[in-house]
Structure 1
Amino acid sequence: MVDYDDRLHQVYASGRALPADSLRTWMETAVAFAPTGRPLTVLDLGCGIGRFTPALAETFGGPVYGVEPSTMMLRQAPQHPAVTYLEGSAESIPLADESCDLVWLFLTIHHWADPLQGLREVRRVLRPGGVVILRTQFGDQMPNLYWYRYFPSAREVDASMYLPFDEVRAVAEQAGLVAEEQPHWVDVTEPRTLRATYERLKVRAFSTFEHIAEDELDRGFAEFERDAAAGPDRELPAFPAGVLLLRRPSK
């Protein structure tokens, strides 16, 4: 397990900041998949430093709960009149039964100690007919991220952290949630240029880097820096980001 209270909280804001166009893309995605009524009560589970939490409140017009196990990450979360931040884990969500219309899970389920218990808790806090937007990678459908070329073990490291697609569906259904048969794919370019990508990654805010040997990191970042200096404005291709929709059945 990665401890975000150790080092990552210090670099997360600089290394994982969301450009305005990326945040807009994700909120448009959320609107497309969310229940149609307004306002909606939203749970941002594993909210980290609150990258999405205020935007979810503004998008859906209702209260948003940002739940996060890392004290140091939560201390950086932006305040918003419609947002309440709470310390808690997926396996023990500090909210009442059937209190939420929408659960936003953005690159968090692979950090859970017990995905089945976590999704059972998600089902518990969802109202009947509620929706879970699960943004995750799938171990058997990994994208070919541009920066993997600099770190030979990175793709395998990432794949090992994520369950295969069929296993994600099986765990969700075991938890009492209905999973769609196929993921949706959202094209993401974040950021757009080689230099900006290097500047983003060099602070090592991605948990991937916690599992790669230091000598491989040193070589990879040195090569990455040389390429970024030689072609700073080179535009990088978009990559497909997987989203799986889950629903709590209506009574």
Structure 2
Amino acid sequence: MATYDTLGATYARIRRPDRRIAAQIHAALGNVTDVINIGAGTGSYEPPQTVLAVEPSQVMLAQRPPGSAVAVRAVAERLPLRDDAADAVMALLTIHHWTDLVAGIRELRRVARRRIVVLTWDQRVFREQFWLVREYLPQAAAFDDTRAIPTDRLAALLGGARQEPVPVPHDCTDGFAAAYWRRPHVYLDPRVRAGISLLAQTGEDVIAPGLTRLADDLATGRWHSRHAELLTHETVDVGYRLLVTDL
């Protein structure tokens, strides 16, 4: 399976933080004095209090902008950090890539003094509400079934966590899987798909027939007729969730 050393090359350009999602994440972190970002990638959504980023992919680390927090190459399951290393630890759209979820969550709890913030998604809602996987790419949804973590299980592993829906704006600047829910033509761009792990890791050969049907439905107007009501929405809830745990 592709790793972020091969599929992460476009992240700095495609996966730009969305200010509204950033505001929700930073509000969830609260008035903490220092933050460690686990599975940090290129540094999206890191607040000013970030003192360290942890990321296993050198390709991703190389795309961190100048002035970013100090970064180390390591994995969530074995953090090179002392106990109670920071007020807060955040892990954003990363836990589904971990090889040992229980070990990773144990490490988050060990390193954080006050708060843990995790951004993930509810696969059941995602499957039901996101038209791309429901109507065109069920193979991608099936791939997600193998890696998605039920949010109730994750909340329990975190020691109890409140869950906040994260609405996706229609003009979201962060190109994650459902970011283009009101801009369907964008999914036809291979450069965009390369920055979406769901599509890149499912494989172009697998998703090609569904994308061909999407292109045809866009050309004929069928997609727009079918989703006329969706086009009036400013945001949608397709299952993205913030889990916030106080220690």
Query: TM tier, shorter chain?
Result: 0.7 to 0.9
Out of 17, 29, 43, the position equivalent to 2:36 is 43
| Structure 2 unpaired stretches of 5+ | 170-178
Counterpart check, 1:185 vs 2:162: no
CA, structure 1 residues 200+16, in 2 after alignment: closer, same or farther (shift >3 Å)? farther
Counterpart check, 1:91 vs 2:77: yes
The 5 Å alignment of 1:1-251 reads: 2-5=2-5, 7-18=6-17, 23-37=18-32, 40-53=33-46, 56-57=47-48, 62-80=49-67, 83-127=69-113, 130-143=114-127, 144-148=129-133, 149-173=135-159, 178-180=160-162, 183-189=163-169, 190-191=179-180, 192-199=182-189, 202-212=192-202, 214-228=204-218, 235=231, 238-240=236-238, 241-248=240-247
Deviation for aligned residue 1:32: 2.6
Matched letter for residue 242 of structure 2? V
DSSP-derived class of the 2:65 partner: coil
Distance 2:232 2:121 in 1: 20
Distance 2:103 2:232 in 1: 38
DSSP-derived class of the 1:96 partner: coil
CA, structure 1 residues 220+201, in 2 after alignment: closer, same or farther (shift >3 Å)? farther
Distance 1:140 1:242 in 2: 12
Deviation for aligned residue 1:107: 0.8
Distance 1:200 1:193 in 2: 15
DSSP-derived class of the 1:153 partner: helix
Is the contact between residue 50 and residue 66 of structure 1 (CA under 8 Å) also seen in structure 2? Answer: yes
Q: Deviations 1:180-205 (Å, cap 9, x if unpaired)?
A: 3xx21021133442334544775332
Distance 1:42 1:15 in 2: 24
Matched letter for residue 243 of structure 1? L
CA, structure 1 residues 30+77, in 2 after alignment: closer, same or farther (shift >3 Å)? same
Deviation for aligned residue 1:226: 4.0
CA RMSD of aligned residues (A): 2.8
Q: Percent identity?
A: 28
CA, structure 1 residues 239+198, in 2 after alignment: closer, same or farther (shift >3 Å)? farther
Distance 1:202 1:76 in 2: 17
Distance 1:151 1:236 in 2: 23
Distance 1:69 1:141 in 2: 29
CA, structure 1 residues 16+199, in 2 after alignment: closer, same or farther (shift >3 Å)? farther
Distance 1:125 1:204 in 2: 32
| Structure 1 unpaired stretches of 5+ | none
Distance 1:121 1:93 in 2: 7
Q: Deviations 1:181-234 (Å, cap 9, x if unpaired)?
A: xx2102113344233454477533222224535443222222333445566998
Distance 2:89 2:232 in 1: 31
Is the contact between residue 115 and residue 246 of structure 2 (CA under 8 Å) also seen in structure 1? Answer: yes
Matched letter for residue 147 of structure 1? L
Matched letter for residue 145 of structure 1? F
Deviation for aligned residue 1:136: 0.6
DSSP-derived class of the 2:31 partner: coil
Q: How many residue pairs get matched?
A: 226
Distance 1:200 1:64 in 2: 35
Matched letter for residue 153 of structure 1? Q
